[in-house]
Chain A
Amino acid sequence: MVDMNVNLAAANKIEDPAFAAPVKLSVSDLTIRYGGTPALSGVNLEVRQHEIFGIIGPPNAGKTSFLKTLNRMDTFNTNMSVEGEILFNGLNVQNLKNIYALRSRIGVVFPLPVGLPLTIYENVALSPRLRGIKRKSELDVIVERCLSRAALWDEVKDRLDSLGSLLSGGQQQRLTIARALSQEPDLLMLDEFSIAVDPVTTMRIEDVLKELKHDMTIILVTNLVQQARRLADRTAFFLEGECVEVGVTEDLFTGEVQDQRTRDYVEGKFG
């Protein structure tokens, strides 16, 4: 176990110039328990600025739990306990007094779109309003920009005042992405965003993500190995509550792997 952590740490520090970007998120010895039962243990990894960091693995690997610790969603669930250190922009998120500020810097997209029971416009304007922006003209600009970046503007620009929940599944998911973008996040976390989305929309969103990474860091949890391959610069493989391997994405498919299970998984031999 100790040896593997050393290996993982080495894998994290690839001396490839493409990944010489500053560290955005640094996780060490992270262990998550639900009522005493560990869901994820001994995770060490780093996420660099402006990269898409993929996390792949079968269900129950601890991928979603991992995301939940990053913006302190663990406070929603009294059953969940977190140990270890998570540094976001160098600050330990566990000790932050102002978790509202932390959360507002991190956009989250869930597997099933959660359209708030508001109009399309208000869904996207909510976060700016929470930040205290009141002027309609300013909000208009933000709403149009975020909807455009989420590739939804053209479809909804004529019915901004209708309810977000009346949109189709794929549109709702893009609406939640637009809402996340309206936070002007530093980090965007997507948890299996394409589960309820048709293939065409999925490809559109993937194109959007490739654009977005110039402005923010993205963590992409996915159960689709090929999606990680298409999008992620580096990828972590989670299995049964353990981070098995972190590496440059393409290496997991074709290069050297530290652990044979990683290769078996990406080749579809299990999972």
Chain B
Amino acid sequence: MFAESALNVRNKRVQNLFRILFLMMTVLLIIPVVIILATLIAKGGSIISIDFLFTDPTNGMTAGGIFPALLGTVWIVAVALLASVPLGVAAAIYLNEYAGDNWFTRIIQLAIINLAGVPSIVHALFGVGAFVIFFGFGTSILAASLTLAIMTLPVVIVSTRESLRAVPQAFREACWNMGATRWQTIRRVVLPNAVSGILTGVILEVSRTTGETAPIMFTGAAFFLPFLPQGVFDQTMALSLHLFVVATQVPGVPDNLAFGVALVLIAMVLLMNSISIAFRMYLRGKKKW
């Protein structure tokens, strides 16, 4: 009764073929990641030390550490977050919780999608025009961070909307039926249950902002600065630009220094992503419905 017919055999063979094909494609994806990490660790791992992280570059950036660049990246990312998170979260709440589906919200939707599609070099030039020149911030942390904030705004808006959308509509209606206003419903029921997703989006934004080079190149990041920034109107060094500089612009930089900078940069990004994943898993375990 269960003897295999020729058709069964053929179906099984085709099924196995596709399974192996897809598996190979998946493995292919891992290869570049492994090679990049292995190369960076092999060639740059030797230079990594507490001293490397916390001292200034010396000898025209051919020796010493990366502290000003590391600190500068933290500055830029922090200020960018301060600008984009409140703006993006507020916009997402409006779009998802208040606005109906009409021409106005559709235009905004379209604008967000287009904003996400703008190349980073165009953002950079926009940042120069708008923040450096028009608003007169000069090349500064503020101008660089605002440029990055605008660039990553779609990430925040989209991820926040997704997490708001994941809160079942029945919860909102149950709350409205008790006489709660929209805002009361958002504050007491929707936001507490969307906050994990929102934070995950924010962390992803951090990891993206950390690595960006083009938008900060003309707006606030400096080639080399012998002092640390004192406020948002100062220029600063940044890790991503520093990597570009030591790898291509300065002659005589030892290989392991350039690879070391790249390793620190990628480690920061991976660390952020790991935190984001761990956080998401932790909160998913605490899911309330």
Contact = CB atoms under 8 A, between A and B. Distances in A.
A103 B178 contact: yes
A179 B189 contact: no
Interface residues of A, number: 27
Interface in A72-122: 73, 76, 78, 100-106, 108, 110, 114-118
A117 B178 contact: no
Specify which of A102, A104, A116, A126 lies most central, judged by the most chain B CB atoms within 10 Å of its CB.
Answer: A116
For the residues of A in contact with B, the DSSP-based class is helix
A126 B180 CA distance: 9
B197 to A, nearest CB: 14
A114 B174 contact: yes
A165 interface: yes
A179 B188 CA distance: 15
A239 B41 CA distance: 75
Contact of B189 (A101, A110, A118, A127): A118
Contact of B180 (A115, A130, A163): A130
B175 interface: yes
Contacts of A101: 179
What's the interface size class on B, roughly? 10 to 19
A41 interface: no
B171 interface: yes
Interface in B257-289: 288-289
Contact of A103 (B100, B170, B176, B192): B176
Contacts of B181: 100
A104 B177 CA distance: 7
Given A104-B178, A126-B188, A116 B173 contact: no
A127 B178 contact: yes
A163 B171 contact: no
Contact of B193 (A73, A104, A105, A117): A117
A199 B177 CA distance: 27
B171 A116 contact: yes
A130 B289 contact: no
B109 interface: no
Contacts of B188: 126, 129-130
A71 B288 contact: no
Nearest to A189: B177
Interface string B143-181: 000000000000000000000000000110111111111
A183 interface: yes
Interface in A112-166: 114-118, 126-127, 129-130, 163, 165
16 contacts: A73-B173, A100-B180, A103-B176, A104-B178, A106-B177, A114-B171, A114-B174, A116-B171, A116-B175, A117-B288, A118-B189, A126-B188, A130-B179, A130-B180, A130-B188, A176-B174
Interface of A: 71, 73, 76, 78, 100-106, 108, 110, 114-118, 126-127, 129-130, 163, 165, 176, 179, 183
Q: Would you list the 10 A-B pairs with minimal beta carbon distance, nearest first?
A: A104-B179, A117-B288, A103-B179, A114-B174, A108-B177, A100-B179, A114-B170, A127-B178, A165-B289, A117-B289
